[in-house]
Chain A
Amino acid sequence: MSAATARLEFRAVTRRFGRAEATVTAVEAVSLAVGDGEVVSLIGPSGCGKSTLLNIAAGLYPPSEGEAYVDRVRVTGPNRQVAFMLQKDLLLPWRSIRENVEFGLEIHGVAAAERRPRAAALLARMHLADCADRYPHQLSGGMRQRAALARTLAVDPSVLLLDEPFSALDAQTKMVLQQDLAQTLRDTRKTAFFITHDLVEAVTLSDRVLVMSRRPGRIIEEIPIALPDRDRPLERRRQPALGDYVARLMALLDVVHAEV
């Protein structure tokens, strides 16, 4: 990936936590770039600093060393070019689903007259048109996560930062949402940085998979996925070559020998 067209880029990013003797180095010298329209997955053992990288990209805290860039602008704080989505849906219980989807737009100062149609279109795309006026507790886990995805897309970010967005869902719901996400990413030509522990998910959704080492996290491998149908993960799942990719990732993560 050439840095010239990168939507998201980390240059030698190191992040430490704590001070003096008790410092923990979460990530060390991480450099990577995600190109326009590309979907890149990041996998690695628990605690290796994946979420830390995502928070740095979102501008929630600065790197200890190195820089992050979004749309070739250095990240110095929260910015409108990115939007993130976590394993938790983070829907506000006192807002209806529609109001939740409009949340980011509201913060960005978009007028109500403009927010309404945008939210309505996204709710329709996420099959939530009938639920617009309901409250989060009235929805299933899968529907709530769809609403969270709609909220993330509503601000029309250059880069979507997705931190294990489907890991709390049951297997079937997860596959349906993966399919919806992949099609949405294709239709909107969005760039996405996707953190996951699910190796099959990483392979079926991505153009490339990056593998991190145990803490302090570094990128130890980059695997381009040369499979068709990136926009149709359900199709990709049936590819015989999928198993080879997953086996390779398992070997890299040393899944068999890793202590839990």
Chain B
Amino acid sequence: MAARREDRITGSAGGSLALLVVFLAVWEWVPALFEVPAFIIPPASAVWDEFVRMLAKDRLIHHTLVTTATVLVGFALGALLGMVVGYLLGMSPRAEFVLSPYILALQIAPKVAFAPLFIMWFGYTVYPKILVAVLIVFFPVMVNVLGALRSVDPDLVNLARAFTATRAQVFWRIEFPASMPPLFSGLRIGATLAVIGVVVGELVGGNTGLGYLLVFGEGQANTAMVFVTIILLTVIGIIAYVAVIALERWVLHYMPSRSLETV
């Protein structure tokens, strides 16, 4: 059983790898076949050369690290704030009732539209970028935590209460652990949104980060540079996402493994 499963996994990993090779080959040669110019789609090799050049000349590592650190900080703060507010509102239905129209309005508002405003407030620093990320990560985390607390089986709460549990015990032993799966769905969404938030902040203003390189490359009509930047941003997003999944697997180790597999 286990061996066969392993075979299946190595088999499909091999498939993915083969697909990557095919994709790179198509990227390298097919646009040229149709005479697509390099400033529209630069071939894979040109993007690689640009990547190497940027490493040497454009402080690519520095910009990548700045963006990564900003994403990390923004995500951590946004997730923390979302959890705190989610649990507080979840514990007091009246506060939720009073605040819900405003929360809904803020949730509907396109968060990236706040980026220029934050730059006007905080200038070309790292703070507006962090703030956009915080704002954009906050909502899915808070909404999921709130929803999780609303849907805890009341019989579970009654079981704890019948055993003479205090309000704090009900929270820490029932509600908090019961909210973990939805919390992690929120964190997964937040991990990818954090990258978007930071990039938009960097696009709008400043002279560091991959978002800045994106605008710079566009200004130079350097398509390969834009490609390199997009790929690196995607890699940052993937790493953030995979890190959340790893944490989720560790925390939710008690769940049947199938329910964790969906990506």
Contact = CB atoms under 8 A, between A and B. Distances in A.
B151 interface: no
A84 B177 contact: no
Interface string A77-93: 01110111010101011
Contacts of B173: 92, 103, 106-107
Given A58-B162, A78-B162, A78-B163, A94 B180 contact: yes
A104 interface: yes
A68 B177 CA distance: 34
Contacts of B160: 103, 107
Q: Classify the interface of chain A: helix, strand, loop or mixed.
A: loop
A93 B252 CA distance: 10
Contact of B159 (A59, A84, A96, A135): A84
Nearest to A55: B158
Interface string A96-107: 100000011011
B255 interface: yes
Given A88-B155, A90-B159, A92-B174, A80 B164 contact: yes
B16 interface: no
B165 interface: yes
A88 B169 CA distance: 21
A155 interface: yes
A94 B159 CA distance: 16
Most buried by B among A86, A88, A93: A93
Contacts of A60: 158, 161-162
Chain B, interface size: which category? 20 to 34
Nearest to A84: B162
A189 interface: no
B38 interface: no
B162 A59 contact: yes
Contacts of B178: 94
B156 interface: yes
Contacts of A11: none
A137 interface: yes
Contacts of A55: 158
B48 to A, nearest CB: 47
A108 interface: yes
Given A90-B155, A92-B174, A107-B169, A79 B164 contact: yes
A83 B162 contact: yes
Interface in B157-216: 158-165, 169, 173-174, 177-178, 180
A60 to B, nearest CB: 5
Contacts of A106: 173
Contacts of A135: 254
A86 B155 contact: yes
A70 to B, nearest CB: 12
B163 A155 contact: yes
B219 interface: no
Contacts of B153: 88, 90
B163 A108 contact: yes
A106 B162 CA distance: 13
14 contacts: A58-B158, A60-B158, A78-B161, A86-B155, A92-B156, A93-B255, A94-B252, A94-B254, A95-B254, A96-B254, A103-B163, A107-B160, A107-B169, A135-B254
Given A55-B158, A58-B158, 6 more contacts: A78-B162, A84-B162, A92-B156, A92-B173, A92-B177, A107-B163
